[in-house]
Amino acid sequence: MQRDKLDFGNMAIGPLFRAMFFPTLVGMIFTSIITVVDGMFVGRGVGAPGIAAVNIVAPTFMVATGIGLMFGIGASVIAGIRLSEDNVKAARIILTQGFVASSLLALAMVIMILVAPDATLQLLGCSDLLKSNAMNYMLPLTPALLFVMVQCIGMMLIRLDGSPKYAMMCQAVPAVLNIVLDYIMIFPMQMGVKGASVATSISCVVGGLMALVYFFWFSDKLRFYRLKLSRKSLKLSLRNVGYMGRIGFATFLTEVAMSVMMLTGNYMFMKRLGENGVAAYSIACYLFPVVFSIANAVAQSAQPIISFNYGAGSEVRVTRALKVALFTALICGVTVTAGLALFTRLIVGAFLSPGQTAYDLAVGGLPLFATCAVFFAVNITFIGFYQSIERAWRSIAYTLLRGIVLLIPSFLLLPGIVGNAGLWCAIPVAEIITTAIIVMLFIAHRKRLAALMTRR
């Protein structure tokens, strides 16, 4: 395997960020394609009830992804700081502890869903009309959630190890495989939503195994380290795992917030517009992972650069990396907003046939939803920045603000003020207010942040 030659401490920030960003962006887009293709094939092969059922189950996938990314971000930040101190052994220990902790949580989640599938669907707000399709989608997918977490944490640490192209392949290969299997299982094999679930499960397993293969055979500095089982070692492991979780918790909350977005949105759309409203909203939910992936690609590309140079005490390089990341986030956000607004009918038509009630609802609402992309990208970039410099509580506060504190009231109140358009405007309004608060507080505290990094 040809390794990418990256020097986080000395390479010019612009070229370094681009070397990280483009493979990360391609990989993240491929990952989001898995969700989008599921929706397209289910929408065409099963119809609106199928696409709505998949949307009901989607929060379980997002929670699994969130746990993996939480430990991935936390382990990557801490390991990056240790590498800047030339402490490779400590970085390897952090990697191993992160994998063990996320795997145990994944196993617990899988067991709980399989033991109580009916209760899980009830908790997710599934109606009786959608229950059969939702169950057919959830059960085959659930065991693969373990590999979802392994893939998520693995990609973050693979990038830190200097191999963003391999991390990209861990996302691209499963995505292409998922597309092929989706088509085969939904159309020729006529397996419906169960076929989509099996296809996604197989692709997730492949992605997780590719990440594990890297650390066993292809890694440079980062690889698994045998952990001691003494009482003292276990206490240190728990402490490290707790710190990883605290740093990465904002990323987990981002995934949880998307689940809250789906659950709250499903409830409000069902209440005002019925199953057709949920199916229309499902298209926005299928597209939101694309919006998230592009924004997250910016944050994840900047993260190892910022955390390494933060550990080295280089305030100038940290500030430069943040500026490059924010500029990139703005460009990406504007591009996504324009694309969703200009090609609404083409996008909705890939999921539903014209003439359906859900199709008309989605065509009218998607341009309103699209305005969130610019502000979401900026918010995620700032949250990633605060994670990278160990300001965990600030990143958590901003994530709660945008994803829960402002989002739920927006969904509940805006429809009563502006009608059904308020359902589609709830997410943009929450993101816009959050951006304003983040930028104002950043400007107010930037001198304090500079002094903090200089003292390291």
* pLDDT for the residue 1: 47
Q: Which residue has the higher pLDDT, 62 or 398?
A: 398
What pLDDT score was predicted for residue 168? 84
Residues 6+ apart with CB under 8 A from 47: none
Long-range CB contact pairs, 450-455, < 8 A, 24+: 450/315, 450/319, 452/389, 453/310, 453/313, 453/314, 453/315, 453/318, 453/389, 454/313, 454/315, 455/313
Distance of CA 412 to the CA centre of its chain: 25
Instruction: Give the mean model confidence (pLDDT) for residues 200-214.
Output: 91
Mean pLDDT of all residues in 320-335: 93
What are the pLDDT digits (tens) for 113-128?
999 888 888 887 777 7
Cα dihedral 287, 288, 292, 294 in deg (nearest 10): 30
Here the tokens at position 324 are 């490059």
Tell me which residue of 140, 145, 148, 138 sits closest to 57, measured CA to CA.
138
Residue where the block lists tokens 């397996």: 191
Provide DSSP, 122-188.
Answer: HHTT--TTTHHHHHHHHHHHGGGHHHHHHHHHHHHHHHHTT-HHHHHHHHHHHHHHHHHHHHHHHTT
End-to-end CA distance of the chain: 36
Separate counts of helices (H) and strands (E) for the chain: 16, 0
Mean pLDDT of 447-454: 66
CA distance 71 to 75: 6
Contact 52, 136 (CB under 8 A): no
Q: Of 329, 330, 300, 302, which is closest to residue 317 (Cα–Cα)?
A: 302
* Separation CA 270–CA 275 (nearest Å): 6
Q: From CA 403, how far away is CA 447, in angstroms rounded?
A: 28
- pLDDT of the residue at 111: 93
Spatial separation of the C-alpha atoms in residues 10 and 83, rounded to whole Å: 14
337 near 48, Cβ under 8 Å?
Answer: no
Among 38-47, 61-70, 121-130, the minimum mean pLDDT is found in 38-47
Contact yes or no for 201/140 (Cβ under 8 A): yes
Per-residue DSSP letter, 227 = P
pLDDT digits (tens, 9 = 90+) for 219-252: 878 788 887 777 888 888 888 888 888 888 877 8
404 HSE (CA, 13 A, CB side): 14
What is the Cα–Cα distance from 382 to 30, expressed in whole angstroms? 24
Q: Which of 98, 414, 377 is nearest to 254 (CA)?
A: 377
Report residue 88: phi and psi, to 5°: -65, -40
The dihedral through the CA atoms of 76, 78, 83, 87 has a sign that is negative
Q: Model confidence over 4-20: pLDDT tens digits?
A: 566 777 788 888 888 88
Both tokens assigned to 349: 């038509």
Residue 118: per-residue pLDDT: 87
Model confidence at 429, in pLDDT bands (50, 70, 90)?
very high
Mean pLDDT of 433-438: 95
pLDDT attached to residue 208:
92
pLDDT in tens, 369-389: 889 899 999 999 999 899 888
**Is the Cα dihedral 243, 247, 253, 255 positive or negative?**
negative
